[in-house]
Amino acid sequence: MKWTAPPGTVPASVVAVLGVALSLLAGAGLRTVERHGLDRAVDARTTAAAAAVTNEIRRYGDAARQVAAGLGALDTLDPAGFTAVTAALPAAHLPGVTDVSVITPTDDARPAGRRPVSSTPATGGYRQLMTRPLDGSRPADATPALPAEVTSALASARATDALTVSAPYAPIGGGAVAVAVLAPIPHRPGSAVRLGFVGPLFLAATLGDEVPSGSAVTLSATEPAVGIGTVGTTETTTVDRTTRLDVGARTWQLRTTTSTAAAGLLGVDAHLDGIVAATGAGAALLLAVGVFVLAGARRRARIRAERAEAELRATESASRQQAALLHAVLAGLEDGIAVADQDGTLALLNPPAQATLATPDDGGTPGTHGIFRVDGVTPYPPDSLPLRRALDGTACSDEIVVRSVARPGGVRLKVTAQPIDLGTGRSGALAISRDVTAERACEEDLAVFAGVATDQVKEPLADVADHLAAAEDALGEVRVLGRQPRTVSAAIGHLERARAGAERMRRLVDDLLTYTTAGNTALQVRDVDLTAVVTDVLGLLVRAQGGLRPTPNVVIRPLPSVRADGRLVRRLIGNLLNNALTYTPPDESPRIAIRARPVDGSADWIRVEIADHGIGFPPGRRATHFAGQHSLSAPTGGLGLAICRRIVERHGGVIGAADNPGGGTVVWFTLPTAGSATSDSKEPELVGAQP
């Protein structure tokens, strides 16, 4: 049976062979380019290092010349003058410098004037007249003898009257190799200033930051051949460069050695050739495999393409159906839907939103068309619109009035906006608006009706109470033989109970009116200072007791401002404080604590707590008290707590109660803050809490 090569074997083999061969050739060419680049980089580094060393030695020579010039200008060469002239050297930042000294011929040891008698000394000996340590790298050499290298350099400086650098030498006191810079002192023949420095410290300070890892720089003198210092290390040398430096009538040699490991630090990729060769060969092999696979995969590709096309058509059809359904739903909604992009561009407006949230016409009289607050007069700031605030990342809800040519009387909208994610990294905002014009008008009519109806009930009740009081007074004056008959006393008791019932009915009518208005009238939202409200309401309640009960002990922690209807918040605080004062045993002084703290997870809401030490709620009756379902004959009868719950819920908050650990009740509620809520690090104590 004859074997047949699979389809694509021949072209795949050709691609593999050609690709590998071309990759190897490219790698060889890049290796040559890399070596040339490394050579140029090392040459540049060597030139820069030589220039740095030359410039630094020149700076040392300038410092020595300045000291020599200063000493030459002195009338008398004494320690005081030497100290004054060399005072600036420590601040000159001369790396490796150990000390500065004055060297004079042995026949010129005495103090001399500016112009000595003879121009040459009698003998050829020298000594260090004065020495000043500079950086403390080693102590000053106090030995009068000088190294031979320094003496030789002094002779050269004396002969040429020019700056001279000594050959490297080992200090007499021991230590690293040192070099001396000698500058003749003007007007003092044979005398010179010696500036000594340590070779390795000098080279490390001059080139330390410029020598990359894997490279080394060595500085040495040529005559004689003595090493001055070395910076850096290299295990294997790939590139070696040597250059000569002319320093103070001497010749120094600077040698730079670099290994392949330092090539990357010099800006040369020494491994690029291998990477290119390996990558190219790998790519060629992968391409060959791809050719082999593609040669036999045309049928499978065609089948997958047909299947993908069918799935795309099905997905497109489903998308059209979903889009049509979404459009129908949005068009059929009574609420307006608006979606804005992160730059403020309206991306979606359904028909109700187009009729209400679109930009009003500009053809009307100024001030008649536009977006206003609920009073219908104050323009709504554009930057504070709910959709704008949602684009800034804050979910919010508010009511606005929009007037246009189509609705000159204005339409009142309740707008709720929140941030949304539009996908592909884009943020946006969604606003839902509902027409509450008729609802608010109905609420106002209902509040008016409730007020009128309540007045019609309260007036007869007041008449009944007045007549009952008059009957009590009249019967109280009846006396038979100086005594009040038993039947008259019984009648007076009945009249008192009837008058008390009329009073309870009057309070109930007031509570019903408040309960109705708290749930139906439009909120007049503004910033309300809770501390001021609590202080004012508490004072009124205490004064109303008329001294019949002990003076309460009240602790008020700092309370923030809230965004709420001030009239309703005042009624809320009044009801809760009145309960705390009323339902305390008569023989005890009421103890009340009021505090506020941020709601966990929300910086825009606060939780206000009013803790007392009273009789508390009967077991299992908290929920019914807040719902207004308890008996009016109970000790806590009335709609006070139900009114509190309706007020809090109208503002979007919640209300509840818990047992005070020390006895009594803690009633709490949440309200939106007028700013950012803060909390004390120390938790306020609860009234009556046991230690």
What would the pLDDT profile of 114-158 be if each residue is shown by its tens digit?
434 333 333 357 888 888 888 655 444 444 578 888 888 888 888
Q: In 3D, which of 191, 33, 176, 36 has the Cα closest to residue 112?
A: 191
**Looking at the structure, do residues 277 and 288 belong to the same domain, yes or no?**
yes
Asked if residue 451 lies in contact with residue 513, where contact means CB atoms within 8 angstroms, the answer is: yes
**CATH code of the domain containing 374:** 3.30.450
**3-state SS, residue 357:** coil
How sure is the predictor about 683, in pLDDT bands with cuts at 50, 70 and 90?
Answer: very low
Measure the N-to-C terminal CA separation of the chain; round to a whole number of Å. Answer: 100
- Render pLDDT for 157-172 as a digit per residue (tens, 0 to 9): 888 888 889 889 888 7
**Looking at the structure, do residues 599 and 615 belong to the same domain, yes or no?**
yes
Strongest mean pLDDT among 109-113, 130-134, 292-296: 130-134
**Looking at the structure, do residues 414 and 311 belong to the same domain, yes or no?**
no
Residue 520 pLDDT: 62
CB pairs under 8 A, 24+ apart, for 39-44? Answer: 39/239, 41/263, 41/266, 41/267, 41/268, 42/239, 42/241, 42/256, 42/258, 42/266, 43/241
pLDDT surpassing 70 at residue 456: no
> Which of 369, 403, 433 is at the close of a domain?
433
Average pLDDT estimate for 45-67 = 88
Tell me the CA distances in angstroms from 412 to 67, 352, 377, 403, one per residue in order. 92, 13, 13, 9
**3-state SS, residue 229:** strand
- Render pLDDT for 435-451 as a digit per residue (tens, 0 to 9): 888 877 776 776 677 66
Q: List alpha helices for 77-220, DSSP H.
A: 79-85, 148-160, 199-207
pLDDT surpassing 80 at residue 644: yes
Residue 572: other Cβ atoms inside 10 A: 27
**Looking at the structure, do residues 112 and 3 belong to the same domain, yes or no?**
yes
Asked if residue 24 lies in contact with residue 281, where contact means CB atoms within 8 angstroms, the answer is: yes
pLDDT surpassing 50 at residue 113: no
What is the domain extent for residue 426? Answer: 333-433
Residue 633 pLDDT: 38
Residue 2 pLDDT: 60
| Euclidean distance between CA atoms 195 and 192, whole angstroms | 10
Average pLDDT estimate for 71-80 = 87
Residue 563 pLDDT: 92
Looking at the domain assignment, is residue 305 inside a domain? Answer: yes
**Number of continuous H segments (helices) and E segments (strands) in the chain:** 14, 22
**3-state SS, residue 511:** helix
- Render pLDDT for 198-247 as a digit per residue (tens, 0 to 9): 888 888 888 877 777 778 888 888 878 888 888 888 777 677 888 888 88
Looking at the domain assignment, is residue 362 inside a domain? Answer: yes
Residue 360: other Cβ atoms inside 10 A: 18
| Euclidean distance between CA atoms 269 and 34, whole angstroms | 7
| Euclidean distance between CA atoms 368 and 376, whole angstroms | 9
Looking at the domain assignment, is residue 690 inside a domain? Answer: no
Q: By CB neighbour count within 10 A (0-12 exposed, 13-18 middle, 19+ buried), where does 598 fall?
A: middle
pLDDT surpassing 70 at residue 688: no
Nearby residues of 353 by Cβ (< 8 Å), 6 or more positions away: 336, 337, 338, 431, 433
Into how many domains does the chain fold? 6
Q: In 3D, which of 533, 561, 564, 560 has the Cα closest to residue 653?
A: 564
Buried b (16+ CB within 10 A) or exposed e, 225-245: ebebbbbbebeeebbebeeeb
| Euclidean distance between CA atoms 84 and 102, whole angstroms | 14
CA angle 222, 227, 232 (to 5 degrees): 125
- Render pLDDT for 338-373 as a digit per residue (tens, 0 to 9): 888 888 888 788 888 777 655 444 454 555 678 888
Q: Scan for tokens 């003898």, then name that residue.
A: 145
Give me the amino acid identity at 435: D
Q: In 3D, which of 394, 384, 380, 381 has the Cα closest to residue 429?
A: 394
| Euclidean distance between CA atoms 109 and 94, whole angstroms | 29
pLDDT surpassing 60 at residue 1: no
**Looking at the structure, do residues 222 and 276 belong to the same domain, yes or no?**
no
**CATH code of the domain containing 652:** 3.30.565.10
Residue 123 pLDDT: 39
- Render pLDDT for 543-576 as a digit per residue (tens, 0 to 9): 877 667 778 888 998 899 999 988 899 989 998 9
Please tell me what DSSP assigns to residue 359: P
Nearby residues of 492 by Cβ (< 8 Å), 6 or more positions away: 472, 475, 476
**Looking at the structure, do residues 275 and 319 belong to the same domain, yes or no?**
no
Looking at the domain assignment, is residue 667 inside a domain? Answer: yes
Counting residues of the chain whose pLDDT is more than 90, the rounded percentage is 8
Asked if residue 205 lies in contact with residue 213, where contact means CB atoms within 8 angstroms, the answer is: no
**Looking at the structure, do residues 274 and 386 belong to the same domain, yes or no?**
no
Looking at the domain assignment, is residue 473 inside a domain? Answer: yes
Nearby residues of 326 by Cβ (< 8 Å), 6 or more positions away: none
| Euclidean distance between CA atoms 430 and 419, whole angstroms | 6
CA 673 and chain centroid, separation: 24
Looking at the domain assignment, is residue 380 inside a domain? Answer: yes
**Looking at the structure, do residues 275 and 315 belong to the same domain, yes or no?**
no
Q: List alpha helices for 86-189, DSSP H.
A: 148-160
Q: List alpha helices for 337-384, DSSP H.
A: 351-356
Six-digit token string for 337:
């839907």
Six-digit token string for 301:
């590709």
**Looking at the structure, do residues 35 and 174 belong to the same domain, yes or no?**
yes
Six-digit token string for 428:
């946006």
Give me the amino acid identity at 338: A
Range name among 62-66, 201-205, 369-373, 632-636 with the lowest pLDDT average:
632-636
Residue 690 pLDDT: 34
Looking at the domain assignment, is residue 664 inside a domain? Answer: yes
Q: In 3D, which of 619, 614, 622, 568 has the Cα closest to residue 593?
A: 614
**Looking at the structure, do residues 401 and 362 belong to the same domain, yes or no?**
yes
Looking at the domain assignment, is residue 88 inside a domain? Answer: yes
Give me the amino acid identity at 273: D
Six-digit token string for 230:
């070395």
> Which of 380, 415, 433 is at the close of a domain?
433
The mean pLDDT value of the chain amounts to 78
User: Cis link prior to 224 (omega < 30° from 0)?
Assistant: yes
> Which of 508, 543, 563 is at the close of a domain?
508
Average pLDDT estimate for 37-47 = 81
**Looking at the structure, do residues 37 and 137 belong to the same domain, yes or no?**
yes
| Euclidean distance between CA atoms 610 and 660, whole angstroms | 10
Give me the amino acid identity at 458: K
- Residue of higher predicted confidence among 55 and 452: 55
Instruction: State whether the Cα torsion 107-110-111-116 is positive or negative.
Output: negative
pLDDT surpassing 80 at residue 600: yes
Residue 83: other Cβ atoms inside 10 A: 11
Residue 204 pLDDT: 85
**Looking at the structure, do residues 93 and 110 belong to the same domain, yes or no?**
yes
